[in-house]
Amino acid sequence: MRTILTVAAMAVTLVVHAAAAQDVYKASEPGITNPVLTREVKPNYTDDAMRRKVQGIVEMAAVVQKDGTVGEVSITRALDPDLDEEAIKALRQWRFKPGTKDGQTVNVEVNVEMSFTLRSKK
């Protein structure tokens, strides 16, 4: 019985690794059409960050998947832990017309900047 469980666990591991190993293209590569944003969600500005008057830009790298959803996201230039998290949450809700290569939809890594700017009260 133990051998069967080990084999089953190895099979699951192989499936997970195969899914993770799908090709991801850079938007700048020749023959790649860039994903096109179709739905943008603005990030929340946390009360604490507003009180501390934190302003700036969060830079991220994200994979736009074949179905137009956002997959893996990583911060490439952080601003503030709370605002970084809010930027990631917002980006995960974005939707795209997927990028293509040779007429087929593909996973494409894109760079995204989100700005956090306080407005003066009038």
Query: Domain holding 33: CATH number?
Result: 3.30.2420.10
pLDDT of residue 77: 98
Residue 80 to residue 82: CA distance in whole angstroms: 6
pLDDT of residue 9: 39
Asked, for residue 41, whether it belongs to a domain, the answer is: yes
Task: Spell out where 1-122 has E strands.
Answer: 24-26, 32-33, 36-39, 56-64, 70-77, 95-97, 99-101, 104-116
Q: Are 83 and 116 in contact (CB under 8 A)?
A: yes
60: left (phi over 0), alpha (psi -120 to 50) or beta: beta
Kindly tell me the burial class for residue 32, based on how many C-beta atoms sit within 10 Å of its own C-beta (0-12, 13-18, 19 or more). middle
Q: Are 58 and 87 in contact (CB under 8 A)?
A: yes
**Predicted model pTM:** 0.79
Q: Which two tokens stand for residue 96?
A: 């795209």
Confidence of residue 26 (pLDDT cuts 50, 70, 90): very high
Residue 3 to residue 7: CA distance in whole angstroms: 6
Q: Which two tokens stand for residue 111?
A: 């760079």
Number of compact structural domains in the chain = 1
pLDDT of residue 1: 44
Asked, for residue 1, whether it belongs to a domain, the answer is: no
Structural domain range at position 79: 23-116
What is the per-residue pLDDT across 41-69, written as a single tens digit (0 to 9) for each?
Answer: 999 999 999 999 999 999 999 999 999 99
pLDDT of residue 48: 97
Q: Between these two residues, 83 and 28, which has the higher pLDDT value? A: 83
Asked, for residue 63, whether it belongs to a domain, the answer is: yes
**Count of Cβ atoms closer than 10 Å to residue 99 Cβ:** 24
